[in-house]
């Protein structure tokens, strides 16, 4: 049987089911098997690997994963695609489709009930642009027992996630992702390999989960608040952002003390601070604010 991810086969499946794309679900189906091979190579899937996929569409990526992996669990929100997937993936009994919004799913429970204990698990997906960040943050923040995440996402978002301090792409998303994982942009993917064709290019991003974060912080939740506040207005200094978005003008003295204690110039901007500096700042703020 011909691969799903070819223009002719995709067209045939869409016509057979009279499928109409829903703009609200950000549906763009891949029609290039070479790109799919590269995604799967990046994920280093073996016959022992369990894979979680999000948004299988008509099964183009799912089919290629299924040829390599031991078990695949795929979350699909669009009910109209369930009969299509049942048909296109019928040669792969080790693929399970779950009709659910992945953002509402209990992924820990799914992993426990689906995969073997201590199994090598990867998340591999072609993510809809409009929910890329919430899905990635859910996967990272829930500290799932996974080796990593390989996703096709908007090129600009991939660059932001993998960005280094001091670059215009670097921001709170870079820090949040890099706290949990090592981030690396694998390749840029042109808009021409999708149906319908998106307005922007995509990229394959690989996140390798860290055994533990690269910095230790006293309060993880507060650390996240600190760097989010620091980027609230990119043109403002770190001092102004912390006053207006984290604490208040009444706490200016304590914030200045914390910055001095962390050896950070209050005139610097958030995008110049490294992960280590944010960790130091977060702990210093906690101790200075608690003292007063």
CATH assignment, 220-291: 1.10.8.100
Confidence of residue 19 (pLDDT cuts 50, 70, 90): confident
Binding site for S-adenosyl-L-methionine: which residues? 28, 30, 55, 76, 101, 126
d(CA 48, CA 233): 46
3-state SS, residue 140? helix
| Backbone dihedral region for residue 199 (phi beyond 0: left; psi -120 to 50: alpha; all else: beta) | alpha
- pTM for the full model? 0.94
Which residue in the block uniquely carries the two structure tokens 């049942």?
Answer: 86
The third-level CATH classification (topology) of the domain covering 7-209 is: Rossmann fold (3.40.50)
Give yes or no for residue 5 having a pLDDT over 80.
yes
Query: Looking at the chain, how many residues does it have?
Result: 292
d(CA 20, CA 135): 24
- Residue 163 DSSP class: P
Confidence of residue 292 (pLDDT cuts 50, 70, 90): low
Least confident of 135-139, 144-148, 177-181, 232-236: 232-236
d(CA 118, CA 254): 46
Confidence of residue 234 (pLDDT cuts 50, 70, 90): confident
Mean pLDDT of the chain: 94
3-state SS, residue 177? helix
Q: What is the pLDDT of residue 243?
A: 94
d(CA 105, CA 284): 37
| 119 Cβ contact partners less than 8 Å away, ≥ 6 residues apart | 48, 49, 50, 70
Q: For the residues 11-31, what does the mean pLDDT come to?
A: 84
Tell me the pLDDT tens digit for each residue of 44-80. 999 999 999 999 999 999 999 999 999 999 999 999 9
Tell me the pLDDT tens digit for each residue of 182-208. 999 999 999 999 988 888 899 999 999
Angle (nearest 5°) at CA 97 between 96 and 101: 135
Ranges of each domain in the chain? 7-209, 220-291
Binding site: which residues? 28, 30, 55, 76, 101, 126
């Amino acid at each position: 049987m011909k691969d799903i991810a070819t223009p002719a086969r995709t067209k045939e499946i869409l016509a057979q089911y009279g499928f109409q794309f829903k703009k609200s679900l950000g549906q763009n189906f891949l029609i290039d098997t070479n790109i799919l091979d590269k995604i799967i190579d990046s994920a280093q899937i073996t016959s022992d690997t369990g894979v979680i996929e999000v948004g299988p569409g008509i099964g183009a990526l799912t089919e290629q994963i299924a040829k390599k992996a031991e078990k695949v669990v795929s979350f699909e929100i669009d009910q109209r695609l369930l009969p299509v997937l049942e048909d296109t993936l019928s040669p792969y009994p080790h693929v399970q489709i779950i009709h659910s919004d992945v953002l509402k799913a209990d992924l820990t429970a799914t992993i426990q009930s689906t995969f073997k204990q201590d199994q090598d698990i990867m998340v591999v997906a072609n993510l809809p642009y409009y929910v890329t960040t919430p899905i990635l943050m859910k996967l990272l923040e829930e500290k799932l027992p996974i080796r990593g995440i390989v996703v096709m996402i908007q090129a600009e978002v991939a660059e932001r996630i993998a960005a280094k301090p001091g670059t215009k792409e670097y921001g709170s998303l870079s820090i949040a992702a890099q706290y949990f994982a090592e981030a690396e942009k694998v390749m840029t993917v042109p808009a021409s390999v999708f149906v319908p064709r998106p307005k922007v290019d995509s990229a394959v991003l690989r996140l390798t989960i860290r055994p533990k974060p690269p910095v230790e912080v006293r309060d993880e939740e507060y650390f996240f608040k600190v760097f989010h506040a620091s980027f609230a207005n990119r043109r403002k200094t770190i001092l102004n952002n912390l006053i207006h978005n984290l604490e208040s003008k009444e706490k200016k003295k304590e914030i200045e003390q914390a910055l001095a204690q962390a050896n950070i110039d209050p005139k610097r901007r958030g995008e110049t601070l490294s992960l280590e500096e944010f960790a130091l700042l977060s702990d210093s703020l906690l101790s200075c604010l608690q003292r007063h």
